[in-house]
Amino acid sequence: MGKSFENPWMRIAFYAAMVLFVFMTLFPLYWVFKMSIVTPEELFKTPPSLLPTNFDIAPAPYFFTAYETVFADPDFKAAIVNSIVVAGITTVICLAVGSVCAYALARINFVLRTPIQAFILAISFFPAVAIIAPLFLQFQTFGIIGTYWAMIIPDILFALPLTVFLLLAYFRELPAGLEEAAKVDGANIWQAFFRITIPLSAPGVVTTAILTFIFAWNEFLFANTFALDITTQPATVIIPQFATTYTTDFGAQAAASIVVTLPLVALVLIFQRRIVSGLTAGAVK
């Protein structure tokens, strides 16, 4: 409802509230970024200054000492690689099985459609911690504790509802006419899916891939349970440990936090329109 404000004061109050919301949402990101670029003296100054004044400069390519510190840390680099591997494989598997499943749920009217849909959605309400004990014993038997698979396997379970419901929303938006035409021309349902639906819904598939990747990237519980050392530990496990490695080097802790979040923030802002519609589709339909 684009109605205007009758009272100019109401208008001012409304915009003030919106500005406050944006400010509070972005403030921690700004503050931690500020912490990552200033000198230790300024970091510990009381009262803290809102704007950075004394920069802790390092030579290129890092420009600030804190970033040089974290990138010189071999554990940090290894952790980033581990995060990419775990989140990447999880995303590929989720998209492979999830897209086919979402297509059937979107297009074919079979008897168990609604129960299966509800069943998959129910997984997102499921407490992950409930299965760490049995998975631990099981993974011990298989000998995969401390490997990437010990994280990827449970990550798949919890990322799948997100993947399936995002794709379901995109497939439903796509008119079925082209697939129907292909079927009239003799294509079977698999051909219609691979040759028509997937290419046409490419933007939706890319958005889903990004969100699934972010979801797996952010996972902490399974990583903390099943990754034993830096050969597999992802960034979410390593960064909290920095509090003990770099006890007083708040700048390094801040820089590490910025490095792992900025790419996510950038991705989310680029794809924000599609993400909002995809994320909320499952809730209202």
Partner 1 sequence: MAVATGARARKPSKPKDEGVFSRLKGDFANPERRTAYYMVAPVLLLVLLIGLWPVAYAIYLSFLKVLPETAPSFVGLQNYIDMFSDPTFRGAVLNTAIFTILSVALEFVFGIGIALALNRGFTGQGSVRAVALVPWAFPTVVSAVMWRLMYQQQGGIMAYIALKLNLIAGPILASEQATLFAAVIVDVWKTTPFVALLLLAGLQVIPADTYEAARVDGANAWQQFSRITLPLLKPAIAVALLFRTLDAWRVYDLFWAMSDRTLESLSTYVFKGVRISQVDFSVGDAAAVFIFLTSLVLAFIFLKGLGTESSGGG
Site for partner 1 in 185-224 (CB under 8 A): 188-190, 214, 217-218, 220-221, 224
- Going by C-alpha positions, the residue among 45, 32, 36 that lies closest to residue 70 is 36
Stretch (H or E) spanning 12: helix 8-37
Question: Measured from the CB atom, is 44 or 55 closer to partner 1?
Answer: 44
Q: Which two tokens stand for residue 206?
A: 């890319």
Cross-strand pairs, 55: 38
Q: Residue 260 interacts with partner 1 (CB under 8 A)?
A: yes
CA dist 224 and 256 (Å) reads 18
CA distance 123 to 116: 11
Calpha distance 278→211 (Å, rounded): 10
Q: Is the previous residue joined to 47 through a cis bond, with omega within 30 degrees of 0?
A: yes
Which of 78/164 has CB closer to partner 1? 164
Do you know the residue count of the chain? 285
Is 98 a residue that touches partner 1 (CB under 8 A)?
A: yes
Contact segment (CB under 8 A) with partner 1 among 56-64, 66-74, 134-142, 200-208 equals 134-142
Based on the shown chain and the rule CB under 8 A, indicate whether residue 89 belongs to the binding site for partner 1.
no
Question: What binding mask, one character per residue, do residues 138-177 give for partner 1 by CB under 8 A, x or -?
Answer: x--------------xx-xx--x---x-------------
By CB under 8 A, which span of 63-71, 72-80, 182-190, 196-204 interacts with partner 1? 182-190
Q: Does 265 bind partner 1 (CB under 8 A)?
A: yes
Specify the stretch interacting with partner 1 by CB under 8 A; choose among 26-34, 64-72, 74-82, 199-207: 26-34
> Which residues, at least 6 apart from 116, have a Cβ–Cβ distance to it below 8 Å?
105
254 counts as binding partner 1 under rule CB under 8 A = yes
